[in-house]
Amino acid sequence: KRPYRPGQHGPGRPQKLSEYGAQLLEKQKLRFIYGVMERQFRRYFEQAQRSRGVTGEVLLQLLEQRLDTVVYRLGFARTMAAARQLVGHGHVTLNGRRVDIASCQVKPGDVVGLTQKARSLAVVRESLDLRRPVPPYLSLDETTMTSRLQRLPLREEIPVDVDESLVVELYAR
């Protein structure tokens, strides 16, 4: 692969990214990490802006509280997309009830688990065999395959390499 953009004007000197370009890039990065559409993402941002606390951190907390994200962080799925599919196909329970909405918000104290059928699925088994570390704000009981959200995650516990202040600046325009 060539180290420059395609087309007639590609091999020149690379353009310096504008301030807007950098902000947009960070926003898109965050959106694609969590697999959220623009309209939903904007709603999360507006909700974060209304709440108390640092908007950028609250935005990340809201994204981390999504059911598909929690399922991924627990190691039940290899990727965010796989976690979303696991939820969508009805393999995940929230407080003992089957939930098939990936964007469902998990609140502190909620119990997330897998259905009996899901525990024996090959994809779940393979993912659990990877033994990814479970974040400190989640507690996993491996015998019952359930977990409790102990508290909201702190910024340093959220493993996304994104400068959320740029996202806040972008939407503040």
CATH number at residue 158: 3.10.290.10
Q: Identify whether 1 is part of a domain.
A: no
* Bridge partners (DSSP) listed for residue 138: 149
- Do 170 and 152 form a contact (C-beta atoms < 8 A)? no
Q: Identify whether 84 is part of a domain.
A: yes
Q: Identify whether 143 is part of a domain.
A: yes
Q: Identify whether 3 is part of a domain.
A: no
> CA–CA distance from 125 to each of 41, 60, 72 (Å)?
31, 28, 13
Count of structural domains within the chain: 1
For 107, the domain range is 17-172
Residue 1's pLDDT band, with cuts at 50, 70 and 90, is confident
pTM: predicted TM-score of the whole model, two decimal places: 0.90
Q: Identify whether 9 is part of a domain.
A: no
Using one digit for the tens of pLDDT, what is the confidence trace for 70-122? Answer: 999 999 999 999 999 999 999 999 999 999 999 999 999 999 999 999 999 99
User: Average of pLDDT values for 52-79?
Assistant: 96
Tokens in use for 87?
Answer: 């939820």
Residue 160's pLDDT band, with cuts at 50, 70 and 90, is very high
How crowded is residue 170: how many other Cβ atoms within 10 Å of its Cβ?
18
